[in-house]
Every structure is written in structure tokens, then in C-alpha cells.
Amino acid sequence: MDIQLLRQELNKLLHEKLEPVVESSDLNSEFPMEAYRAVAQAGFGGIFLPEEYGGGESLEGLMVVMEEMSKFSPGFALSTMASFQLFGYNIARLGTAAQKEKYLKGLTGEAKIGCWGLTEPDVGSDAIHIKTTAKKEGNDYILNGSKTFITNAPIADYFIIIANSGGSGFNSGSARQAGSAFVLEKGMKGLSVSKPFKKHGHRCSPTGQIFLDQVKVTKDHLLGSEGSAFADMKHSLELERFLIGPMVAGMLETLIEKCVSYAYNRQQFGQPILFFQLIQEKIARMRMHLEMIRAATDQGVALIKEGKPATNLATALKLYGGKAAVEMGSEAMQIHGGNGYMHEYRVEMFMRDAKLLEIGGGTNEMMLQILAKNTIKEVGKKYGVT
């Protein structure tokens, strides 16, 4: 993969198709479908999918695509990744040949939109206690329940739904072995979605609920094997955590550009405010975070490619990246002063978009808990901690 060429060509496409609609899609909470279609059909969304389905099979490429999209609109990046990573990548690694043929080609060729549903009204971080059920009836499964905060749900053509499929773990202590994933399609009887939620940020990316009322599917709709969904999920969520890296890097790059150019043109007390050290300190810290995040992302790519454990780095990067985005988004607004508070300077959009990164895909608190648990387990052994 020629990474430089990928970046250059994708940037050109986004500049022409996405850039002109970033502001209106954020203001009106509308998904920029035309831009999405262009990115999907040119194949960029499928950068990490298998080559035989039009993908690029490139992890470095995935990071670049995420970064470039996030420079323009983190919400657009989020929706595209929900479609191609959370849905597409899980189909690619867990799906049958028939599932891959149909859904992966649908994502690229027809710009179909995918989503991935785990979270429920009462179940967030405590994922294994989901209440959505999939009861086996002969060769079929009957799905019941609801999902919430699902990226792309209101506009999705394809759905992956995680449900409790019973078996040995159904309503018993071994819930961990009871999760199964199912692939559903828009239009199935009993499957419906809510309108997009009104959100703080990521407004161009529709988020909503999924309702399952006696949805009957054949065995062909099972993704992976029965009871393996929670184990399968771990790998995909780790990769998702790493994607925070390029997302925040893209956001910081845009914010740094906006801040330097604004601060140079904004005159106070007879000189550009860029020359004030208090302004420079903010820019320096943006650069510091950008460098750290880039380095950690590169390291994550290397670890994943070598098949080495990367959970701690992924978790740390998720935590660090989310916090950096929120803090720097706020500082970028500060540099822009009153103008930063206005929509048209498109700084406050990044600030609003940033907050999700501390919540979605695992809260800061969960990341801290994972890091604490792993560290105490690892280091505590020496001291007899049990």
C-alpha cells in the first residue's frame, strides 16, 4: 500500500465531497450520504477488509483513513468506521463465505450502511449481562429485546446484534458463554429503529435505538459460532480503541492549523495574539499530545501486526486520546475567543465531538479500571497480591 498516495487521494476526495457539507450536516444533524457514498464506493472505507472483497488489508492504511476523515469531521469518521469496522470487519473475520460475499460487497459496491449493536438501555460497560435474547426454535432463532446508543442504527441496512442465546449460560451464572452475534437486515419483520437521537456532538453521525420484536432468523444469520460473541468481541474492541489514536490525531491537526492561522491574523495590543506566550503554550501542548498519540498509534500498529498483546497500550491510548481531545478542543476554542464560541469557525464542533471519546467505546473509568487491574495483577504477583 502506497500510504502517501492513499492519503493524498483520500484527502482530495474528502476535500471536494465532505468539506462543503461538514457545517450543514453538523447544524442540521444530517448524515452526509453523498460524501459517504463517494468514500465507500471508491473503496476507502474498506481499507482493512480483505482484498478479494475490494479492500486493502492494510492496518497502516486504516489509521490513515481514520485520521484523514477525522480532520474534516470526526462524526463522519465514526459512522464510516461503524459501518466498515464494527460491522464489516466483524463479518470479514467471523462470517461465512456467503455472508462475506453479500455484506462486504454491499458495503463497498452499494454503499450500504452497517452497524453493530451491543449496548442496551440497562447494559453498557457490563456487557455480558445483556437482556436481548435469541431463543432457538428448530433451525431458527427468535430475537427479542432492544439496543441503544447504536451508531448508524437509524440509517443502517445491515445490523450485527449481540444477544443472549441461552445454551449452557442462558439466564445462568456463565453468561460469558451465552453471547451470540446475528446479522440482520433492514426490512426484516419485527426489526425497527428509532429516529436519530439529538446529541451534544457527532451530530452528522446518526445514533439511535434498535427494537427487536419476535425477529425470526435462520441459522445462516448467526455470525461466528453460538456462544462465542463475547470472546470474539475482545479483538474487535481492542482495534476500536486504537482507532481513537488516528481520530484524535486528525482532530488535533485541524485544530492546530486553525489556531495558528487564527492567532496570527487576530491582532490585539498591536500584535498577533500568536506572539503571546500564553497562546503559544496552548499550541505547544496540542503538538505534544499529537506527537504522543502518533507514536502510540504507530506502536499499536506494530504490536498488532506482530500479534503481540496490545490491550494495555490500546486502553491507555483510548484514555489519553479522549482526554487530550476534550482538553485541546477547549483550548482551541479559548484561542479563538468569542469567535470560537460561534459555530462558523468550526472549532466548537471538534470540542463537542471530542467529549464522546471519553464515553463511547468504553468510558474513561472503564479504561482506568482495566489498566489498574492489569497492572496490579502483573506487578502485584511479586508482592503476593491476590
Partner 1 sequence: MKIAVLIKQVPDTESKIRVKSDGSGIEETDVKYIVNPYCEYAIEEAIRTKEKIKAGEPEAPVATVVISLGPDRALEALRTALAMGIDKAIHIDSEGKIFDGFQTAKILAGVLKAGAFDLIFCGKQAIDDDNSQVAQMTAEFLDFPQVMIIQKFDLTPDSKGALVTRQVGGGAREIYEAVFPLILGCEKGLNTPRYASLPGIMKAKTKPVEKLKASAFLGDTGPLTQFIHYQLPPERAAGKKLDGEAPQQAHELARLLREEAKVI
> Active-site residue numbers?
240
Cα–Cα dist 149/133, whole Å:
18
Shortest gap between Cβ of 37 and partner 1 (angstroms)? 12
> Would you count residue 5 as binding partner 1 (CB under 8 A)?
yes
Taking CB under 8 A as the binding criterion, the range among 49-57, 151-159, 230-238, 323-331 that sits at the site for partner 1 is 49-57
> Would you count residue 1 as binding partner 1 (CB under 8 A)?
yes
> Would you count residue 219 as binding partner 1 (CB under 8 A)?
no
Shortest gap between Cβ of 44 and partner 1 (angstroms)? 5
Which one among 47, 94, 229, 333 touches partner 1, defined by CB under 8 A?
47
Shortest gap between Cβ of 193 and partner 1 (angstroms)? 29
Taking CB under 8 A as the binding criterion, the range among 41-49, 233-241, 247-255, 367-375 that sits at the site for partner 1 is 41-49
> Would you count residue 265 as binding partner 1 (CB under 8 A)?
no
Taking CB under 8 A as the binding criterion, the range among 46-54, 124-132, 182-190, 202-210 that sits at the site for partner 1 is 46-54
Which one among 4, 139, 171, 386 touches partner 1, defined by CB under 8 A?
4
Total binding residues toward partner 1, as defined by CB under 8 A: 20
CB of 26 closer than 8 Å to CB of 204: yes
Distances (CA, A) of 24 to 19, 31, 152, 362, 376: 10, 10, 18, 29, 48
> Would you count residue 55 as binding partner 1 (CB under 8 A)?
yes
Helix H or strand E encompassing 341: none
By beta-carbon proximity to partner 1, the closer residue of 107 and 354 is 107
Count other C-beta atoms under 10 Å from residue 199's C-beta.
18
Length of the chain: 386
- Cell reading at 191: 426489526
- Specify burial of residue 328 (Cβ count, 10 A radius: 0-12, 13-18, 19+): buried
Unique residue bearing C-alpha cell 464542533: 349
For 17, how many CA atoms within 13 A lie in the half-sphere containing its CB? 20
Which one among 23, 30, 38, 363 touches partner 1, defined by CB under 8 A?
38
Shortest gap between Cβ of 132 and partner 1 (angstroms)? 35
Which one among 54, 167, 190, 337 touches partner 1, defined by CB under 8 A?
54
Which one among 31, 36, 44, 89 touches partner 1, defined by CB under 8 A?
44
The runs of H, that is alpha helices, within the chain are 3-17, 22-27, 33-41, 59-72, 74-81, 90-94, 97-99, 105-109, 229-242, 244-265, 277-306, 311-340, 348-356, 364-380
In this structure, which amino acid lies at residue 255?
Answer: L
CB of 142 closer than 8 Å to CB of 215: yes
By beta-carbon proximity to partner 1, the closer residue of 264 and 341 is 264
By beta-carbon proximity to partner 1, the closer residue of 19 and 23 is 19
Which residue ranges make up the site for partner 1 (CB under 8 A)? Answer: 1-2, 4-6, 8-9, 12-13, 38, 41-44, 46-47, 51, 54-56
